Chain A
Amino acid sequence: MKANREMKRLFVGGLGQNISEADLQNQFGRFGEVSDVEIITRKDDQGNPQKVFAYINIRVTEADLKKCMSVLNKTKWKGGTLQIQLAKESFLHRLAQEREEAKVKKGKSTTGNTSLLEKMKTVDFHVKAVPGTEVPGHKNWVVSKFGRVLPVLHLKNERKRKIIKYDPSKYCHNLKKIGEDFTNAVPISNLTWELEGGNDPMSKKRRGEFSDFHSPAKKIIKVQKNEDSTAFPTIRSKPRGIVESPHLIQQLAQKAPHNSSTPKSPYITDFDHQKFKNVFFQTSGLETTKKRNSISDDDIDSEDELRLMIAREENLEKTTWSSNEFENDPFEVVRDDFKSDFHKFHTSTGLGLKNSENNVTENGCDSDSGDTDEIIAMKKSSGKIENGVDFSQGEKSMYKKTLKSRKKYDLSDDCIKEQKRKNKVEIALSHRVKPLSCKSLIESSSSEDADSVSESTECEGDKEYNTLMENCLRVNLTLADLEQLAGGNQEAPKEKTESSGQETTAKCDRASKSRRTPGDLRRGQQCIHPEEIVASLLEGRENPCGKQKTKENTLKPKFQAFKGVGCLYGKESVKKSLQESVASNNINKDQISLKLEEPRNVSMGKWSLCANGLSSEQTPFQHAKEANDSNQIQPQKRQSFLSQGHKVVSPNSSEKRNRNPISSLLPLKDKKSSSCGAKTPNRGLDEDCCHGTGKSGESSEGRPDLCSSKTPEKSPEVFSRRDSQGSKTDFPLSVNSSSDVNAKDKHAEDNQKRLAALEARQKAKEVQKKLVHNALANLDGHPEDKPTHIIFGSNSESETEETSTQEQSHPGEELVKESMGRASGKLFDSSDDEESCAEDDNNRFRIKPQFEGRAGQKLMNLQSHFGTDDRFRMDSRFLESDSEDDHEEINEKKTPEEEELAAEKLKALNVVQSVLQISLSNSTSKGSVAAKKFKDIIHYDPTRDDHATYERKQDDKPKESKAKRKKKREEAEKLPEVSKEMYYNIATDLKQIFQSVKDTSEKEDNTPWNEDSDGEKAEVVQDTPALMTRSEQTGGFTFSFFESDAKDEKEETYRVEAVKPGKVAWQGDPRFQDSSSEEEDVTEETDDKKQSPEEVPLPEKETTRFFFFSKNDERLHGSDLFWRGVGSNISRNSWEIRTNNLRMDCRKKHKDAKRRLKLK
């Protein structure tokens, strides 16, 4: 038996809601071993359980299963009708099975694959021939592009009646055999059950939370170049799915440096952009696009616009992308309470943009791009983190391609195709060397270059060394002209991007470099910190990639590159820094925890990207701005990154950003600014060490410091936070070095610009501070003012200006105060709030509180008589003299028209009620309440006569509710009616039952009743209910025909009494009641049966009760004797006769039997 047992999965539906697994287990345990019970409760929107069903894994024999089905199916159990069906196996089981089967198959198929083909004697569809060659023996079969033999198809166009010849050799076919790779399959136990809830938009969407819509980009960009404007949207609008983010990064990587590097030809960015697209989509036609674009010549403004556009496109893309996630559903479904964030978005971006506007006034378009870049970067970072994994995996292949193509036109075939990894390393190296060489050229110190190169090569293998040297030379040659165009600094990042063997690592490089390049001042001293970061970055980068081997290689060249750059600036301290950096790298590698690295460094890379582009593009001044911008955007960012891992990202990125400003700020000679700049990195480092979640908090702390950069005293504080970095010494040194760099700075104009802008910036800051200060002062000051001064609403006007003016206005107020007395001093307390706001224009156009409402209007009119003269400022008390009249007037006015309207409104509301089929409970009162609220602004004073109006209002309320009261009364009156019905019901029942009883009794009693008694009885029967009520009233007056029944009757009557107290009203003439009850009851018979199930047995007993006869009625005695005697005689006679007969028969038979016995 047991052998036959099979694992079955049963569906058990129709369960009660409070079923437990144990219950099911017990229930089904009778039939087999229940191994797994899974109860599923389906709930509706409100969370009320609708359905409960369960899946049960049971090991059961066929017979038992059948038995189980037959026994339990469609039986009621614990509040539900069971429904049992065989269910499919759990999908996990199936998946496991499938996989195993596939494994087995695979093993078989690999062994007998070729033989199978031969056995089948089919044509091998894979022919090794040039595509397009016809297959001999088969007409219209050709070798297609990928070697498969396919037929030439003739397809008929549905609409055009045109027959298209489809030659597979000319088209690529998109067939792909999707073989399941069971070797890499995730074990079932490790399957993802839940998508982790990141707060990034992607995961949100996965969870079904749709982000608010961001507006489509307005295409306000002047179409200066058709090429460009078209190229962007078309490329960008392509849905790209997951692969997107790497693209974008690359784009950006390309873009930023290019923009910066060549102010002459800003459109290089575009073509680069395009190129990249092309690289991804088809690796051809690079050169042509390049040429085309390189011709184009434009000013920087357009570039900025383009950036803006990119930012917008990005947003647009984001939204569209999200909505396009499933192709079938291009539209979004939103909740009822959906509010589009259109405006919000604008404001948020506006934050950045506003700043930029400020800057524009000072410095043109520079800052604009910065902001947008930030936005882009932000967007991207969020997008990136989602795809982090995909990125790291898919990245490689992508970049291989790009690398190759890049190589082609950059280095012109100098790279030989070897193993790919090697290649990469080489290229990376070569590119990294480029900047070195560039710089060295600038410095005109070729020997140094050689030094640096040699240094770098020391750490690598010989092979790399050779290639590196080669590349070095070539690069020097090719880049000679570029150097002339732009500073070496700017060049470096660009080259870096190109060199990006693996995007992010390169980015890291650039990040570190960008940090260094603009202000390398602190190179010698502070190199530890950047290096640290780089190390962490690299580690983070490396680990996900899982390239242990390349790690060493890639790491080293990078640091060499740093060294090189460093040595350009701080010549003497090259070696020192090198050693330091290496050491720190090693140390930090150990220190830094790895888990958080990946997202962080991704975002870092990005930040560095934009920062890099900026830094190289313009003057360091911009970084100062950027730093500020970053501060402002920071809150926004933090919103977007809520989850822990992401939190870590944001501070880091901010750190990065802060870093750039540092370097940029330092050359500004401003001690303050430099201190603030220095502060931020330190903080950042501090955070880096901590790796805590409190980072964001810390950074936010630091930010205000940054804003208030005036106070150099604060920097020590921050420094004190640092643990063992020894940065205190660094700080002054860095300042010193900054002066050095300044001396070296060639662009004097830039400096001037910077300074001017900085000054303006600081001015703005000061103004802002002042504002804040004022606001705060006001806040503090007011509590003091409150008790002493009466603050009038009119005050708010003056308050908007300055506190000083406020004081001026006070005398005027006091005048008013004197004249007025202080009875209602609290009246306009609310104006305090407005003062604290002190916002400017908005308030001016707001309706002032004292002018609100009808009374306010009057006041306004009064005020307008006097103009804006402070002495005659009007106050509500001026109005008070009139107010009485006013109210009366209003009341009078209301009477004729308003009532009409009110009536109409009521009508309308009634209609609404009926239309909507809802109860508008206090809709009318609501309106009145609202109106009252308006008037309540004037404080109610019970002592005042004029306020009696309000009291009267309250009186109105009960009046209104009179109708309700009436209704209530009516309802109350109705209730007895209901009871009446019930009463009738019982009567009918009884009647019916009695009738039936009567009939039966008539049938049974064959003895004829005389007519009189018969009629009597019928009447009596009908009257019983009335009797019952009577008995209730009189108490203990019972009627019974037979003594034995008396007790029962009493009980019955009592019971009835308890149920229906209302019947009391309904005695009187019993006969009359009877007739009425009969009539009505006929109509409601059916209902009544239900109502009196208990009383059904009662009437049967009551057959013995009679109305006209008392218990010991004398009249009955005679008749009683009479008919009883008759009845008994008859029966006795018949009985005797019968018994005699029986006896006779018995004897006869007995005798007969005896005779027979004798005879025998």
Chain B
Amino acid sequence: MRPLTEEETRVMFEKIAKYIGENLQLLVDRPDGTYCFRLHNDRVYYVSEKILKLAANISGDKLVSLGTCFGKFTKTHKFRLHITALDYLAPYAKYKVWIKPGAEQSFLYGNHVLKSGLGRITENTSQYQGVVVYSMADVPLGFGVAAKSTQDCRKVDPMAIVVFHQADIGEYVRHEETLT
């Protein structure tokens, strides 16, 4: 467990900023306490200072996880967001996509969102913008990347992919072993 290097921080923040934009600073600079990012087993954890102190008592090899896992660094030092970060991304998300009840299951099984399943989308979402996917009842289901801009979405045929799947809450079941 160690703090992130500047490069790592940059890579991670760039990724997160895709979803929440400038709200990122709210994650870093929280009024309700000090929170920080810690790297442990290539995974980045978002930890409150309090928990950090507690976790300091546990040796590194025994420590499985602490705080909230935001994602992990791949071998190529890219950052990949995990679904566990959704709790922090969803409230701050700038661009959202709501999917119809019928398409929910498909999305939760790890599929992309087709236009037919698209219930609602934030206006002027640009292409390849990170979006948080909600159900029509406003339950955050996961996140992805807009494959089409809002304007394009209007034109494409119903079977076209509008949101690339990245993570969904179905992973809690499907990838139980890898999520920490």
Contacts and interface: CB of A to CB of B under 8 A. Distances in A.
Nearest to B156: A328
B101 to A, nearest CB: 6
A463 to B, nearest CB: 57
A323 to B, nearest CB: 8
Contact of B29 (A215, A331, A909, A918): A909
A328 B154 contact: yes
A924 B34 CA distance: 12
A909 B22 CA distance: 11
B13 A331 contact: no
Interface string A281-311: 0000000000000000000000000000000
Interface stretch (B58-66, B68-76, B112-120, B166-174): B112-120
B138 interface: yes
B3 A916 contact: no
B143 to A, nearest CB: 17
A190 to B, nearest CB: 33
B17 A911 contact: no
A728 B165 CA distance: 72
A332 interface: yes
Contact of B24 (A213, A907, A912, A930): A912
Contacts of A330: 116, 118-119, 158
A338 B98 CA distance: 11
Contacts of A911: 6, 9-10, 13
Interface in A908-944: 908-909, 911-912, 914-916, 918, 920, 923-924, 926-927, 930-931
A338 B22 CA distance: 18
B107 interface: no
Contact of B22 (A216, A323, A916): A916
Nearest to B7: A911
Nearest to A933: B31
A342 interface: yes
A905 B122 contact: no
A927 B29 contact: yes
Contact of B21 (A216, A331, A333, A916): A916
A644 interface: no
A898 to B, nearest CB: 7
Contacts of B98: 213, 332, 340
B29 A924 contact: yes
Which of B115, B119, B121 is most buried by chain A, counting CB atoms within 10 A of its CB?
Answer: B119
A923 B25 contact: yes
Interface residues of A, number: 38
Contacts of B36: 901, 904-905, 908
Nearest to B118: A331
B45 interface: no
A818 interface: no
A777 interface: no
A615 B150 CA distance: 50
A911 B4 CA distance: 11
A231 B29 CA distance: 55
B96 interface: yes
Nearest to B4: A908
Given A333-B122, A915-B24, A930-B31, A904 B3 contact: yes
Contacts of B87: none
Contacts of A338: 96, 120, 122
A329 interface: yes
B28 A909 contact: yes
B116 to A, nearest CB: 8
Contacts of B34: 898, 901-902, 905
A121 interface: no
Contact of A333 (B13, B120, B158): B120
A952 B153 CA distance: 57
A338 B34 CA distance: 30
Given A213-B136, A331-B121, A338-B96, A916 B17 contact: yes
A1096 interface: no
A128 interface: no
A912 B25 contact: yes
Contacts of A918: 22
Interface in B1-48: 3, 6, 9-10, 13-14, 17, 21-22, 24-25, 28-31, 34, 36-37
Given A335-B122, A335-B123, A914 B10 contact: yes
A44 to B, nearest CB: 12
A908 B37 contact: yes
A336 interface: yes
A482 interface: no
A930 B31 CA distance: 6
Contacts of A95: none
Contacts of A909: 25, 28-29
A328 B10 CA distance: 41
A920 B13 CA distance: 15
A316 to B, nearest CB: 10
A975 interface: no
A334 interface: yes
Contact of B28 (A215, A331, A340, A912): A912
Contacts of B158: 330
Nearest to B97: A331
B94 interface: yes
Contacts of B159: none
Interface string A1106-1141: 000000000000000000000000000000000000
A905 B121 contact: no
B137 interface: yes
A334 B24 contact: no
Contacts of A916: 17, 21-22, 24-25
A329 B154 CA distance: 6
Contacts of A213: 98, 119-120, 136
Contact of B122 (A215, A334, A914, A920): A334
Contacts of B31: 926-927, 930-931
Contacts of A336: 94-95, 122-123
A1130 to B, nearest CB: 79
B149 to A, nearest CB: 11
Interface string A1058-1101: 00000000000000000000000000000000000000000000
A334 B121 contact: yes
A904 B6 CA distance: 10
Interface string B137-149: 1100000000000
B136 A215 contact: yes
A901 B3 CA distance: 10
Nearest to A215: B137
A328 B154 CA distance: 7
Interface in B97-133: 98, 101, 115-116, 118-123
A924 to B, nearest CB: 7
A896 to B, nearest CB: 12
A683 to B, nearest CB: 41
Nearest to A210: B120
Given A328-B154, A911-B9, A905 B28 contact: yes
A216 B136 contact: yes
A335 B125 CA distance: 10
A332 B120 contact: yes
A931 to B, nearest CB: 8
Nearest to B30: A927
Contacts of B116: 330
A340 B116 CA distance: 20
10 contacts: A213-B98, A213-B119, A213-B120, A330-B119, A332-B119, A335-B122, A338-B120, A915-B17, A915-B24, A920-B25
Task: Across the A-B interface, give the 8 residue pairs with the lowest CB-CB distance, nearest first.
Answer: A930-B31, A332-B120, A331-B118, A915-B13, A911-B9, A340-B138, A333-B123, A908-B28
Given A331-B120, A333-B121, A916-B24, 10 more contacts: A213-B136, A334-B96, A334-B123, A335-B122, A912-B25, A912-B28, A915-B14, A916-B17, A923-B25, A927-B29
Interface of B: 3, 6, 9-10, 13-14, 17, 21-22, 24-25, 28-31, 34, 36-37, 49, 53, 94-96, 98, 101, 115-116, 118-123, 136-138, 150, 153-154, 158
